[in-house]
Amino acid sequence: MRRTSFENADSSMARSLEIVGDWWTLLIVRDAFMGVRRFDDFQEHLGIARNILAARIRRLVDFGILERQLYQIKPNRYEYLLTESGKDLKVVLFAIKQWGDSHLYEGTGHPLSIAHKDCGSEISVDIVCPKCKEVLSDDDEKLDWIPGAGMSDKDKRVYTQFRANSYFELNHS
């Protein structure tokens, strides 16, 4: 069965997952944040097959998440560095890690901490209103899904139809 492509979907989430939605891709980005730069180092650290790694890195370069930088001539060898777009995935990786720490390692201690260098405190990902700076809880009734200008008329109808059944509406009615 052929996989559905979300490349042209009317959803930022679906289109983003088309690019970074498989585990190898996110693990490559995670390793890039941790300082891994070279193909052989990614391959050794992740234990990923070379052909799969090459395809994922090519895709990350094509979508502007990594950039190729020549570090050796004859033979040509490249390092792969995070672009600004790639660096913006930090919050996604931290949120996935935070979820895993809470739900997969609860009470047993998690394998890796990410701490603020200045104070040593472990970081957390929060949902914050950019205007008033209020930190919202996971089930906060102050969250609302609002159709954007890029949403198709069909999706707006579906959104309106199912909005009353959303997690936020059902838990706070």
Query: Is 110 a member of any domain?
Result: yes
pLDDT, residue 23, reads 92
Phi/psi for 144 (5° steps) reads -140, 140
Phi/psi for 106 (5° steps) reads -55, 120
Contact 26, 48 (CB under 8 A): no
pLDDT, residue 50, reads 97
If asked whether residues 46 and 111 sit together in one domain, one would say no
Alpha helices in 1-130 (DSSP H): 12-20, 23-33, 39-46, 50-62, 84-87, 90-103
What is the number of domains present in the chain?
2
The rounded distance, in Å, linking the Cα atoms of 103 and 107 is 9
Domain around 101: 90-125
If asked whether residues 54 and 100 sit together in one domain, one would say no
Query: Is 135 a member of any domain?
Result: no
Query: Is 167 a member of any domain?
Result: no
Instruction: CATH number of the domain at 62, please.
Output: 1.10.10.10
Query: Is 130 a member of any domain?
Result: no
pLDDT, residue 169, reads 52
Query: Is 154 a member of any domain?
Result: no
Residue numbers of the chain with a pLDDT score lower than 50 = 170, 172-173
pLDDT, residue 170, reads 47
pTM: 0.80
Angle between helices 50-62 and 39-46 (to 10 degrees): 120
Model confidence pLDDT, tens digit, residues 133-166: 988 876 656 666 677 777 777 777 777 776 666 6
Contact 59, 51 (CB under 8 A): no
